[in-house]
Structure 1
Amino acid sequence: MIDGLMTDPYGTYARLRESTPVRRVSGPDGSPAWLVTRYDDVRAALADERLSVHKKHALPGSYRGFSLPPALDANMLNMDPPDHTRIRRLVVKAFTGRRVEKLRAPVRHTADRLLDAVESDGRADLVAAYAEPLPIITICDLLGVPATHRRDFTDWTDALIAPDPARPQRAKEAVVAMLGFYTGLVADKRKAPGDDLLSDLIAARDEGDRLGEDELTSLAFLLHFAGYENAVQLIGNSVLALLTHPDQLAALRADPARLAGAVEEFMRYDTSAVFSIRRFAREDVTIGGVTVSAGETVFLGLGSAGRDPARFPDPDRLDITRDAGGHLALGHGIHRCVGAPLARLELTVAVGALLERFPRLALGVPEQELRWRPSMRSRGLLALPVVF
């Protein structure tokens, strides 16, 4: 896309905001797009109805994003109102503050169990041992996915997040496997409903409500995929931020009541979602003084917006006392992350449990040896070695 985005993303964003805040780029798939980097422009564009998420508004041949079968593609990330509105109305009931709060104790139990498993070793890879299994267990329990499929799902998701150039078929194989899995899961839940979100959504559809078959299958895929991917990377990025800022780590240990505010600062400082879901201009749209023609693709820089000094003073400094409200890590407008309450809960519990358990937590390798996922769409660590 742009030189430096993988090796020095925030330095690159800073240069773009200053020189060309709305710039022509090549997307991750090689197709042409516009990249928007300033906070005000990104926020306004996220809520602009002239920018659609539906691929039918793309210029023919201009967008070559990864192709999913209809049964996985018919989800909220590819829908505009009114379809988006009716589906979101069903799903958002599952993520109310009250319902998500009921998950706090189970999530904490999972966190404690995972930390129990590594405590005696004195060291661990926090991505593999903690950041990955915590959200996958949580979202599987929420959707009613059997524990026997958790490892498979992790492998499928990794294949889509960071495709292996040496194994080009792996991503396609993962899609086929996921389609079969979700189709079978929906069929199983219809025959034997459980006390879970997917059973609730199936019941709504089967009673003549608003979910079609492809919508139901793709919704399960979306909730599962997003509920895993973003949480894994947010946990890893947040712990790394604390370990590389010992003054902020000490301040949080001294006053654990600051954790809720710190979570917002973690998301602002190093969000997992580099860009929002791509948009397509329904008509000619002016963004930051630049005209985006109808049908062109737009990427909105969520990571860059969080480091914009026009919105967040001294943005490259981690400050858990900062009022980070208004960050765009979870989006804005009608497509704002429907699972935002759950994401906040998981991150709060994960960091809180870790700091309580290990008062001498530290990086296990020099920071410069850490490796990041080779992905342009999301930012997360491949591994986070720590010692206790």
Structure 2
Amino acid sequence: MNAFEKLMNNNLFFLNRSDHLRLRKLALPAFSPRIMNQMKERFAVLVKERFDEIGSPETFNFAKEVAEIIPVQAIASLVGIPREKFPIFDSLAYGIVRGINPMLSPEEREDAIKGIPEGIDLLNSLINEKRNNLSDDFLSTLIAAEEDGKKLSNWEMCALIGSVLGAGSDTAVDLHTYLIKALLNHPDEFEKLKNNPELTQNAISETLRCESSGKTGLARYASEDIQLRDIEIKKGQMIQLITSTAGKDPNIYKNPEKFDIERDQDKSISFGQGPHYCIGVTLVRSQTEVMLKELLERFPNLSLGEKINYDYSHHNARRITELEIKTGI
């Protein structure tokens, strides 16, 4: 079993119910709002440095120069990866995200995951070092977590971080691009947000509802025979749940095709529900809020450019690869 396969075997997405609940319970304190609020300052530094590197051009590709970079760097910063080791962590993230693509040939997957062992070595080294120097940060909280005298193993922590990379970096890339596209395509809502920055989190929720980037569903199996309107589903049959359609349900959302950053989001299921509610929701929301704040401070008069391109071959998302932004400078 190679490093990628071992990561996947311990991944939150693929564990049985009891192991999933145990790992989730131990990991939750590390993803608390308190720790995520501590991270906002670090996220702000990363974002400022990114925009410093972009400079003051007339236009730039937001997808390539911001959205594809910030999410992985935010997770690296959360874990405590030294800046000079970011490229190793980036290769780990690439290997996990690319490696789970079911459309790859064995040769393509082997090439994609080649950076994973070095990334795992980096995480193990960091965990072992942190064990002797615990603080109140993310990794220390994971190490200290205990239930019935049992703690997370190094591999479980590596797999948990891998789960965050697999679910939280790629999806955050799409959230960043679709948020900016949605706001700039709706000037009235954009102006409303600039005048009322407290609506930022609601704007994020509305983007996930109205501009969902996902194009695949969640596989579930019927535990009993079900009659859904005129469709009969037999026990054991697989059901593909396209959760993004829930955001367009007219029985739940009035005028669901309208992008409205003041919409009531109490019934949103964009981050899941129950025991599978997204463990990294505060991480994603925090980094996105910091990114948007800096973007608007740098370029208050930004607008959409002419170039927008999609990667239609992406296996599970309507991935925007080019989103030209006019800075208004």
Which runs of no fewer than 5 residues in structure 2 stay unpaired? none
Contact 1:198 / 1:220 at 8 angstroms: preserved in 2? no
| Residues matched between the structures, number | 317
Residue identity over aligned pairs, in percent, reads: 27
Pick one of 172, 176, 179 that aligns with 1:235. Answer: 176
| Deviations 1:62-111, CA, capped at 9 Å, x for gaps | xxxxxx62432322212343211110011111111222111122212222
TM-score, normalised via structure 1 length: 0.73
Q: What is residue 92 of structure 1 aligned with on the other side?
A: 28
Q: Which amino acid aligns with 1:328?
A: I
Asked if 1:191 corresponds to 2:132, the answer is no
Q: What is residue 75 of structure 2 aligned with on the other side?
A: 139
| Structure 1 residues 317 and 227: alpha-carbon distance in aligned structure 2, compared to 1, 3 A threshold | same
The 2-side partners of 1:354 and 1:108 are apart by 11
TM-superposed CA distance for 1:387, in Å, is: 1.6
Q: Within 5 Å, which residues of 2 pair with 1:216-255? A: 216-255=157-196
| Structure 1 residues 361 and 288: alpha-carbon distance in aligned structure 2, compared to 1, 3 A threshold | farther
Which runs of no fewer than 5 residues in structure 1 stay unpaired? 1-67
Q: What is residue 318 of structure 2 aligned with on the other side?
A: 379
Q: What is residue 38 of structure 2 aligned with on the other side?
A: 102
TM-superposed CA distance for 1:239, in Å, is: 0.4
Secondary structure at the residue paired with 2:176? helix
Secondary structure at the residue paired with 1:124? strand
Secondary structure at the residue paired with 1:278? strand
TM-score, normalised via structure 2 length: 0.84
| Structure 1 residues 236 and 163: alpha-carbon distance in aligned structure 2, compared to 1, 3 A threshold | farther
Q: Which amino acid aligns with 1:386?
A: I
The 2-side partners of 1:361 and 1:239 are apart by 10
Q: What is residue 56 of structure 2 aligned with on the other side?
A: 120
TM-superposed CA distance for 1:222, in Å, is: 0.6
Which gives a bigger RCO, structure 1 or 2 (Cα 8 Å, sep 6+)? Answer: 1
Secondary structure at the residue paired with 1:370? strand
Contact 1:234 / 1:380 at 8 angstroms: preserved in 2? no
Q: Within 5 Å, which residues of 2 pair with 1:153-192? A: 153=92, 155-157=94-96, 159-160=98-99, 169-178=107-116, 180-192=117-129
Higher deviation after alignment, 272-281 or 214-223: 272-281
Q: What is residue 318 of structure 1 aligned with on the other side?
A: 259
Asked if 1:78 corresponds to 2:14, the answer is yes
Contact 2:8 / 2:14 at 8 angstroms: preserved in 1? no
| Deviations 1:12-44, CA, capped at 9 Å, x for gaps | xxxxxxxxxxxxxxxxxxxxxxxxxxxxxxxxx
| Structure 1 residues 189 and 203: alpha-carbon distance in aligned structure 2, compared to 1, 3 A threshold | farther
RMSD value, Cα? 2.8
Secondary structure at the residue paired with 1:71? helix
Q: Which amino acid aligns with 1:71?
A: L
Q: What is residue 28 of structure 1 aligned with on the other side?
A: none
Secondary structure at the residue paired with 1:170? helix
Q: Which amino acid aligns with 1:370?
A: N
Pick one of 148, 153, 160 that aligns with 2:87. Answer: 148
The 2-side partners of 1:200 and 1:98 are apart by 12
